Structure 1
Amino acid sequence: MVSVVPLRGVIIFLCLLHLCVQGVQDVNTVCLAQMTQYFYDNVQPKTKQGTDAQYALSIYVPPAHCVDKHAKIKNVFDKEDATLVKMLLNRGDKCELCTELKNVIASRPDMKTSEHSEHVLLYPVGNSLMDKLLAKARDQSCVVFYSYNSPCVTTCLQSADNILEGLRNWINKRKIEGQMNAFVFQEIWDKDKDLQTEFKKIDEIVPLYRCRRNRNVMQCKKCVNNNVVDPFCLPKKK
């Protein structure tokens, strides 16, 4: 006698199989909050006026650091290395896999060419600092791309120098089951408009998150859910 599997069970199985094949796994926002707070406390460069400066940083870490809130980022990016990255950024230099584990790249905007920090890390496609970082990353890893400010609309997302191709290059190189990726920003570039449309463009390529301090506590949320942008990721209504 041939056993019959209920249709509902088949559908559920196929859906789960699809998720496994795609390697879909969300990054834990508590982990991102801890990571972002660590960056802010130990890496954040300053302007000559002493205010927080724009910079971008990317790091690859073991998967546990993106799902287990008890994993400590300092174990894979210690304070000595973080101090080195901060020193390089404060003097206008880049971190080109400059840490002991060769798992971090970072840059401020290029003052000579006006190239934005995100673009500095992602281009030229095929020979960028991001390409070099991904070549070092293990198959089972989590890659986090952090920008202090949200990518500006006019240059980072709409101009000929936009970062979207660089983001696609990143994700296309990581189409292996179990790999996690996150694009995280902290502050909103206050001159931008129509962020809902532009943030969706990023999230279509790589999951977009915002981490921001609220009463000195870092909180993170995924920016786009069911094609709707969470107000947490948008400027406060005046």
Structure 2
Amino acid sequence: MFLSGLLLLFLLPVWTESVDAETVDIGTLARIIDFFEQNYKRVDEDKHPRQYATAINVPKRQCQKNFSPAQNNFLTQEDAVNVRNALSDDTKALYQGAELIAAGTKKVVNKNKKYNMHSESLLLNPADSSAMTKLLNKRKDGCSVFYTFESPCVDSCLNATRDHNILKGLENWKKHRGIKAFVFKNIWKRDLEKNLQTIFKQIVAHVPLYRCVSEKQCYACKGEGNTPIDTHCLPPKKIKDEL
């Protein structure tokens, strides 16, 4: 009996870790992000894509290996035209559906001060009653994927001293059961010189971080504990000219 108890104590941490470590299939994730890009991406009259973010809470099997999202089997309750129209409306810039939420950028005038509220903040704030919180409450153990076209900005979204930062929203998301993935495509142009190796760890502290660059290629950014952020998720290193 004593030996059996020791064996159970030895195995328990391993079992617990394997349950907590359940992650999205990387190939399926690439197809999901491509589905977003094909159906919801904001492209204005100048033909240039604009910043947007979207999040889903779907059955776990839709994030596992061999699932291929299509119009007839994925987010079937959402109308792509309605999503795109919402993203293009700068006065609201927010869509809330059955399994999907999405945001563009919202023009705000506050005490004669004008600024754009970022799409990540629109979805994750206020943290305890955000669109993301409401979405997660609809399916307690579903697969939740948050995708932003540009990486969250260092000066606002990932700055704990700013009112519209997303860190509390990420902390709340961490509590959600099921598969989780925070995904970005491009690195925000104003952050190319920032120390993203350190700053991105603020995301990884709560949810797994990924970068998806095409319909066939996503990268796990890693960064847990002392593990560094994968170089695929960082700006390319500048090559100094040889003298």
TM-score interval for Structure 1 and Structure 2 normalised by the shorter chain: 0.7 to 0.9
State the shift of 1:19 in Å.
Answer: 2.2
State the secondary structure of the residue aligned to 2:129.
Answer: coil
Residue pair 2:35, 2:69 contacting (<8 A) in 1 also: no
Higher RCO by CA contacts (8 Å cutoff, separation 6 or greater): 1
State the shift of 1:89 in Å.
Answer: 1.2
2:183 corresponds to: 184
Deviations 1:15-55 (A, max 9, x none): 333225x6330111111100001111111001342211101
Structure 2 vs 1, CA of residues 11 and 88 (structure 1 numbering), >3 Å: closer, same or farther?
same
1:110 aligns with 2:106: yes
Question: What TM-score does the superposition give when structure 2 sets the normalisation length?
Answer: 0.83
1:154 aligns with 2:151: no
Structure 2 vs 1, CA of residues 162 and 91 (structure 1 numbering), >3 Å: closer, same or farther?
closer
2:204 corresponds to: 203
1:222 corresponds to: 220
State the shift of 1:135 in Å.
Answer: 2.0
- Partner Cα distance (1:131, 1:3) in 2: 45
State the shift of 1:225 in Å.
Answer: 4.4
| Structure 1 segments (4+ residues) deviating >3 Å | 2-7, 9-12
1:231 corresponds to: 231
For 1:41, the aligned partner's letter is Q
State the shift of 1:80 in Å.
Answer: 6.5
For 1:104, the aligned partner's letter is L
Number of equivalences: 223
For 2:152, the aligned partner's letter is P
State the shift of 1:6 in Å.
Answer: 11
State the shift of 1:126 in Å.
Answer: 1.7
State the secondary structure of the residue aligned to 1:13.
Answer: helix
Which of 3, 25, 28 is the aligned partner of 1:28?
25
Residue pair 1:121, 1:129 contacting (<8 A) in 2 also: yes
- Partner Cα distance (1:52, 1:76) in 2: 23
Aligned alpha-carbon RMSD (Å): 2.3
1:212 aligns with 2:213: yes
- Partner Cα distance (1:134, 1:79) in 2: 16
State the shift of 1:90 in Å.
Answer: 2.4
State the secondary structure of the residue aligned to 1:39.
Answer: helix
Residue pair 1:184, 1:208 contacting (<8 A) in 2 also: yes
1:64 corresponds to: 61
Residue pair 1:47, 1:53 contacting (<8 A) in 2 also: yes
Deviations 1:165-219 (A, max 9, x none): 11112223x1x4xx11110101110211111111111101111111002xxx431
State the shift of 1:132 in Å.
Answer: 1.4
Which of 170, 173, 176 is the aligned partner of 1:170?
173
Among the aligned pairs, what percent are the same residue? 36
1:123 corresponds to: 125
State the shift of 1:156 in Å.
Answer: 0.9
1:91 aligns with 2:94: no
Q: Unmatched 5+ residue regions in structure 2?
A: 109-114, 239-243
Structure 2 vs 1, CA of residues 16 and 50 (structure 1 numbering), >3 Å: closer, same or farther?
same
- Partner Cα distance (2:220, 2:84) in 1: 27
- Partner Cα distance (2:51, 2:168) in 1: 21
- Partner Cα distance (2:102, 2:5) in 1: 52
